[in-house]
Amino acid sequence: MTGAVRHFLDHNAGAPLLPAARARMIEVLDLAGNPSSVHAEGRAARAVVEQARAEIAALCGTRPDRVLFTSGGSESNAWMLHQARGHQAGMGPLAVSAVEHDSVLAAAPHAPRIPVDDQGVVHPHAVAAVLDRLPDGGAGALVAVMAVNNETGVIQPVAEIAALVHARGGRVACDAVQAAGRLDLGTLCGAVDFLSLSAHKIGGPKGVGVLVAGPEIEPAALIPGGQEYRRRGGTENLAGIAGFGAAAAVLCATDRAAEALRLAALRDRIQAALADAAPDVLFPGRDAAFGRVANTLSVVLPGIAAETQVMRMDLAGIAVSAGSACSSGKVAASPVLAAMGLGDLAGQAIRVSLGAGSTADDAEAFIAAWCRMAARRNRVAAE
């Protein structure tokens, strides 16, 4: 975009494309070969795919053959839940947390929901209670619980939940799309059986993701065909995969601890300024038992619909969102915040999400615009 200065605070919806990812994609655009072909051109294309697979595997601390390419995080999530459909691979029933991404909730409309506390945390005892109500105590169940909530940034106790589920012979599917670069993916991969990632959340291109399977797991095929170890047919998105690999390599080389401290300082500055300006403001998940990731802040300003807040910020040159980008076109309260017990306030929340390019200027611009909006609300209420 050109013209007035814009402040992008919607990194959870998609991070700007990294220069390294763009450069890698441009390199491969002229490759004519199909990765499935055996001639030299095909082998060159195959080498691009396998390099990216190895780079993503390194980010996840797993073997390259455990990484299966998809069209994005939503497809990866659907593929994870596909494992429970028809009791494939010996799987039993399915249960999902009440605060999962819309792609999980929509793919499992009849699965029992695991409730959360008022901070959005899925506690192991809540998982156990839901499993107890399933046939055979949930033996062999597939449980879907995300690592980091995309709206609130709340971190879930995935390892503890996985231990409980595994003790009952079940498996765990983990949406880790918002965890990449914020939590240790190696630890997550070691705890769960299936894990999903999306390229454009880490500075890769849109339209490519992965399903990462555990070391002893053989996922049920999603699409017939010879690609992706005969589990997802169709010619690979070569440029997208190349860009994903490059972004993963950059992330592996990043000092993530230092970046987390930097982003947490910006988030905390925003949070403190908003609380000073409007004492009734709420920050869902702020007191979550296992913390929040550093870059995400959910903000409830009572009395103004989320869509109105987003539009006012946009007019002020600031990009924020009202919930998940995959469902934000819908005029409805956030199901995540509703599950946390916020009632009508669930429709009055916006999400601020920071990233590698976020600066103090971005934070101050948002603070100024938001405070003007809150002051206007107060004036209208006083009239």
Active site residue 252: no
Look over the chain and give the mean of its residue pLDDT values, rounded to a whole number.
95
Closest CA to 196 of 211, 207, 181: 211
Closest CA to 336 of 152, 94, 73, 109: 152
Confidence (pLDDT) at 134 = 93
Q: Based on the structure, what is the number of domains in the chain?
A: 2
Confidence (pLDDT) at 119 = 99
Three-point CA angle 248, 251, 253, nearest 5°: 115
Residues 11, 102 within the same domain: no
Confidence (pLDDT) at 81 = 94
2 within some domain: no
Confidence (pLDDT) at 381 = 84
Q: Which residue did the predictor score with more confidence, 249 or 334? A: 249
Q: How far apart are CA 245 and CA 54, in angstroms?
A: 8
Confidence (pLDDT) at 330 = 54
- 340, 119 Cβ separation under 8 angstroms: yes
Residues 295, 332 within the same domain: yes
239 within some domain: yes
Q: How far apart are CA 209 and CA 365, in angstroms?
A: 33
Last residue of a domain, one of 252, 271, 296: 252
Residues 247, 259 within the same domain: no
Strand 94-97 vs strand 67-70: parallel, antiparallel, or unpaired?
unpaired
**% of the chain with per-residue pLDDT over 90:** 90
Q: Which amino acid does the sequence have at 342?
A: L
Residues 259, 230 within the same domain: no
Summarised one tens digit per residue, pLDDT across range 327-343 is 545 546 899 999 999 99
Confidence (pLDDT) at 89 = 47
- Where would I find the beta strands (DSSP E) of 16-128? 67-70, 94-97, 113-114
- Where would I find the beta strands (DSSP E) of the chain? 7-8, 67-70, 94-97, 113-114, 142-144, 171-175, 194-198, 209-213, 296-300, 318-319, 349-353
Residues 62, 211 within the same domain: yes
Segments forming the whole domain that contains residue 343:
7-16+255-382
Query: The domain spanning residue 172 has which CATH number?
Result: 3.40.640.10
Closest CA to 246 of 18, 16, 14: 18
Q: Per the residue annotation, which of 60, 174, 189, 326 is the catalytic one?
A: 326
Strand 296-300 vs strand 209-213: parallel, antiparallel, or unpaired?
unpaired
Closest CA to 155 of 290, 3, 331: 290
Confidence (pLDDT) at 84 = 80
Query: The domain spanning residue 339 has which CATH number?
Result: 3.90.1150.10
Last residue of a domain, one of 218, 252, 286: 252
Residues 267, 372 within the same domain: yes
Confidence (pLDDT) at 328 = 45
Q: What is the DSSP string of 250-310?
A: HHHTS-HHHHHHHHHHHHHHHHHHHHHH-TT-B-TTTT-TT-B-TTEEEEE-TTS-HHHHH
Q: How many other CB atoms sit within 10 Å of the CB of residue 103?
A: 23
Residues 154, 240 within the same domain: yes
**% of the chain with per-residue pLDDT over 70:** 95
The token pair at 192 is 């769960």
Query: What would the mean pLDDT of 246-259 be, rounded to a whole number?
Result: 98
Q: Taking the CA atoms of 212, 358, 260 and 326 in sequence, report the sign of the dihedral they define.
A: negative
Last residue of a domain, one of 228, 252, 276: 252
Query: What would the mean pLDDT of 180-191 be, rounded to a whole number?
Result: 97
Summarised one tens digit per residue, pLDDT across range 77-132 is 999 999 886 545 445 699 999 999 999 999 999 999 999 999 999 999 999 999 99
